[in-house]
Amino acid sequence: MKNFRYTLFTLLVFAFLGCTREEVEDLPRARFSRNPEIFTDTFIGLGSDFYFPYAGAKPDVFSVDNRVAYKGISSIRIDVPNADDPGGNFAGAIFRIDGAGRDLQDFNALTFYAKASQAATIAEIGFGQDFLGDTYRAYMTNVDFTTQWKKFIIPIPDPSKLLEERGVFQFAAGGIGPVGQEVGYTFWIDELRFEKLGKVAQPLPRIFNGENPTTSSFNGVTIPVTGTNVVFNVDGLDVSVNAAPAYFNFRSSNPSVATVNNLGQISVLSAGTTTVTGTVGGGSNPMNALGSLTVNSAGQFNSAPTPPARNPANVVSIFSDAYQNVQVDNFNGFFQFQTTQGGAINIAGENILSYTQLNFVSINMFQSPDVNASAMTHLHLDVNVREALNPGDFLRVVIINNNGPNETSGSVNLVSYKPLVRDNWVSYDIPISDFAGLGVPNDVDLIFFVSDGTISNIYVDNVYFYR
């Protein structure tokens, strides 16, 4: 009888626990704090360690001003520095909750009152930046402050995403005046909170800034979704909010070619074509975003030939994964009248130079220690033309030494050595002596590629001098 009672008790306990677990699993998910207040006369629930300046910003620009307020007795004060301030030439920081974040699903905007000591344009102001991934960052640019208090409204791109947001405010501002001579000023923020406003309406989401570009790619390449923003109607005016890709839901029309994750990273998987589109909002009626990206993948990337293993003492490398490269300022100088876009990129683990809309482009080494190739005998480079070639198409290489009053230069036309081939790498080894007029290349400052628009789309790799 005793064993029977024990067994019955045990069965009842397990039955009770089983029912309880099912009931617990059916309960709605617990929500984090839904307090919308960030700052009234003091900071609300942010904790003791909430202020994080940007790298390079002056760190001590923030304070609480007990003499100036829109309402109550105090406000947030930001003192934007002069351009020549040794502590930093701009003001910029985030306010991040020290602890659990806020559940902001019930609100549709961050609002605040602001004024400045003089009319000023704030470069960025918003929320969602937390230095922990900035997953749901949203901000406005070029926001005009005046000397009178005014209410500002920054709509939330999709409140349903903000279940535990710690980044509740961000700003970035520089001084006023000519570049390099900007003068500082002060601005104040008050009554900083999240709100639910009826005047925020008609959201229009966009990806790729509402355009529909096409790009060529290869297996293993990751392409970011860019130009993500949402335009709202606020009190009859269009307000554009830059929105992190995570606010959007993305779709690839051909997932076997490329997939898209929730952070807007497009992963190219195989040869073919796909179109990436986006929506904002869940449920049965998501909003389609204007814009798309069509990806044409050629499949496996055809790498440039691997250079021979040369003694490093016999190489002065400008751009190659095979050798130690010299210091280069940039791989696209963006000179006046040039149309060329692009520069150094990585394709499936391969570092290459990619140029589009080519008329001319330069590799710049003005700020480098002297690039001395005087003991070298040849220039090597690999070129891959990414378009159809026509009679008369050419690609000229120009070397400029000691740019300035004592400048010398020389050029060669690659097609006089070997014909260029579409979608194939062609290797060139050109005697430096063929660069007529160059003289001794003891201080190479510039290497130009010039097509005059006859060829507009090329890859370049393994640019180095050797002997």
Q: How far apart are CA 449 and CA 427, in angstroms?
A: 15
Q: How far apart are CA 56 and CA 60, in angstroms?
A: 12
Domain residues of the chain, as ranges?
A: 37-197, 201-297, 312-466
CATH of 37-197 given 3.30.1360.120, 2.60.120.430, 2.30.40.10, 1.50.10.10: 2.60.120.430
Mean pLDDT in residue range 236-240: 95
Q: How far apart are CA 95 and CA 50, in angstroms?
A: 5
The pTM (predicted TM-score) of the whole model is 0.77
For 140-196, the pLDDT digits (tens) are: 999 999 999 999 999 999 999 999 999 999 999 999 999 889 999 999 999 999 999
**Do 201-297 and 312-466 come out as alike in CATH topology?**
no
Residues 6+ apart with CB under 8 A from 317: 323, 324, 325, 326, 463, 464, 465
Taking the chain, what is the end-to-end CA distance rounded to the nearest angstrom?
Answer: 100
H helical segments located in 27-120: none
Assigned CATH topology for domain 201-297: Immunoglobulin-like (2.60.40)
Assigned CATH topology for domain 312-466: Jelly Rolls (2.60.120)
For 331-365, the pLDDT digits (tens) are: 998 898 899 999 999 888 889 999 999 999 999 99
